[in-house]
Structure 1
Amino acid sequence: MEPVEILADQLRGMARAAIELLPQAVVALAVVIIVALLNKLGKMLMQRVLGRMRLRQSLKELLILLFSIVIWTTGIMIAAVILFPGLTPASILTGLGIGSVAIGFAFKDVFENFLAGIIILFRREMRIGDHIECEGIEGEVKHIAIRESHIRQTDGQLIIVPNSILFKNPVVIRTDKDHRRIRIICGVSYDTDVDAARDIISDAITPCDTVQQDAGPVQVFANEFGDSSVNFEVTWWAGSTPADVRRSRDQVVAGIKRALDNAGIEIPFPYRTLTFKEPLPLQSPKAD
């Protein structure tokens, strides 16, 4: 046969196959359209239902996304079986399984962050607006997505953190409660009466409006003998945000300094006492 005739026979065979598949293609297309409508209707219903539940917005979006994936996967499998009768759901699932393994190895980090994000979204401890610290990253949680979280530092910079870091490492949530205990060390000279200094420091903290008296008592303990002073450990409760902590620390330190100055109690500078084995000769200045 001539090449032209061979090509014509192949084209006629392809045309006949296409015509034979036309009814299945129409039905498969109708299935896809129905799936699209069902997906849209299902998403609207889920949005209504989830809107009444007290869940994070990112978690609501995740549930809607998973629902959409399930609907589309099922619909595409049905359409593929209709279009190609030789396919079976078992063979499709087998192919998807093999493909999933290959994709899993290729995108290991992506899937790790995705799964970590799902677990983080179900946590109640870390919320939008919390101040956290993890692996040297500290700031306010602005957004929790599926694969990453957005942390705004106190200097205004935004850090995008992969969720696997927040999942695999310890996370300090500084604003888990509305108050936090603050600690400072205050030293007084060795010739000061310790009991009197303790009362003066405690009385200086009590009037500060940034100190939360209802969260816990102000505590002042003689802590150690320092190089130049008797050191007191001073603790009190204040707001938990970084701004609240800085504001309260400033007010308390200023109040203690003012009270000790008014009482004539010295906050000594560090000094050293030098001892020599041999007496040092002293020479008087020569008179002119």
Structure 2
Amino acid sequence: MCIAARRRALEPVNILLDQLRGIARNSIEVLPSLAVALVVILLTWLVSKITASLLSRMLERTRLRKSLQELFALLTSIAVWVLGIMTAAVILFPGLTPASILAGLGIGSVAIGFAFKDVFENFLAGIIILFRKEMRIGDFVECEDIEGEVSRIAIRESHIRQTDGQLVIVPNSILFKNPLTIKTHLDHRRVTVICGVAYDVDVDTARSVISQAVQGCDTVISDDKPVQIFAQEFASSSINFEVTWWTGSTPLAVRQSRDQVVAAVKRALDDAGIEIPFPYRTLTFKEPLAMTRAHGDRDA
């Protein structure tokens, strides 16, 4: 009885020892495959580095953007790593096949796609933006109340340096889905200001004085883009002219040109004796008003 009880007590221990022996035996059998899989991973790393270096040298000879070159290098590296990991998995687990791995990747990609929807949306938007020719590094853009210079276009986000020096990191999906204004797409931009003259001034004379003043500014491009001045409206106290000219497209160039043109027009109108009137206000009373004089006026 004692021997039988002792055997029953030792039976779980024996089962555990048998399982440990089986695990050890299987591990020893897997060691060669594991070593080969590690070698494959190492070779994959080397091939990825060599491929990235060769591809970078080839792309540097092209006119592609730096960010687009980085994208091609990244996609190539991902492809090499996927192929290497699939090869190592087949070596380590002989039951696996490339078809089953691809099927598993397909099911997993659906789940990952739902979990990281925003990340993939920004990634795809970044790829499309990188292939655009309209937005380049150094362009001044405006989108969703964000205005500044594009300093970097990455795969998932773009960096916009505002005119006050602040850096705004914008997800690429925002730049892709919303209207985007590229202010420096052309080298020149049209600027407009409103200038009013008094009603007793001859319109043609005022137009000539304003035109000569604008054309005399060195920030105004008037060789192939004429200065345009149109009488716009009968305002409450003045005839308003719409003064339009072309200048550089950067925000600084626009501000400098507007400052120079406004100062030149004011100076020219003053020299010509043409008034830029203050708003006049006429008051009409329903009943006559009694006029009284001050004591000093009565004595005079």
Same fold (TM over 0.5): yes
Q: 1:32-79 CA deviation, whole Å, 9 max, x = no partner?
A: 222222111111110111010111111111110100101110111111
C-alpha separation between the residues in 1 aligned to 2:125 and 2:141? 17
Q: CA RMSD, aligned part only? A: 1.3
**Equivalent residue number for residue 264 of structure 2:** 255
Give the deviation of 1:14 after TM superposition.
0.8
Q: 1:214-272 CA deviation, whole Å, 9 max, x = no partner?
A: 24000111111001100000000001111100110011000000000001000001121
**Equivalent residue number for residue 163 of structure 1:** 172
Give the deviation of 1:130 after TM superposition.
0.6
C-alpha separation between the residues in 2 aligned to 1:119 and 1:251? 40
Select the structure of larger CA radius of gyration.
2
Q: Residues 123-272 of structure 1 correspond to what in structure 2 (within 5 A)?
A: 123-272=132-281
Match status 1:28 vs 2:33: no
Q: Secondary structure at the match of 1:198?
A: helix
Give the deviation of 1:30 after TM superposition.
2.2
Q: Secondary structure at the match of 2:56?
A: helix
Q: Residues 14-163 of structure 1 correspond to what in structure 2 (within 5 A)?
A: 14-163=23-172
C-alpha separation between the residues in 2 aligned to 1:78 and 1:41? 19
Which one is further off, 22-31 or 49-58? Answer: 22-31
Q: 1:84-129 CA deviation, whole Å, 9 max, x = no partner?
A: 1111112211211221111111111111111111111111111111
Letter of the 1:255 partner, please give it: A
C-alpha separation between the residues in 2 aligned to 1:9 and 1:282? 122
Q: 1:171-217 CA deviation, whole Å, 9 max, x = no partner?
A: 11111111100000000000000000000000111111000112400
Letter of the 1:60 partner, please give it: Q
C-alpha separation between the residues in 2 aligned to 1:245 and 1:228? 29
TM-score by length of 1: 0.96
Count of residues in correspondence between the two structures: 288
C-alpha separation between the residues in 2 aligned to 1:79 and 1:221? 75
Q: 1:157-177 CA deviation, whole Å, 9 max, x = no partner?
A: 111111111000011111111
1:215/1:237 contact within 8 Å kept: no
Letter of the 2:44 partner, please give it: V
C-alpha separation between the residues in 2 aligned to 1:24 and 1:214? 76
Q: Secondary structure at the match of 2:165?
A: coil
Which one is further off, 209-218 or 165-174? Answer: 209-218
1:183/1:235 contact within 8 Å kept: yes
C-alpha separation between the residues in 2 aligned to 1:26 and 1:227? 90
C-alpha separation between the residues in 2 aligned to 1:161 and 1:31? 39
Letter of the 2:208 partner, please give it: D
1:179/1:215 contact within 8 Å kept: no
Letter of the 2:189 partner, please give it: R
Gap runs ≥5 in structure 2: 1-9
Letter of the 1:54 partner, please give it: R
C-alpha separation between the residues in 2 aligned to 1:40 and 1:180? 46
C-alpha separation between the residues in 2 aligned to 1:47 and 1:159? 29
List, as ranges, runs of 4+ consecutive aligned residues in structure 1 with deviation greater than 6 Å: none
Gap runs ≥5 in structure 1: none
Letter of the 1:132 partner, please give it: V
Give the deviation of 1:22 after TM superposition.
2.2
1:29/1:79 contact within 8 Å kept: yes
Q: Secondary structure at the match of 1:235?
A: strand
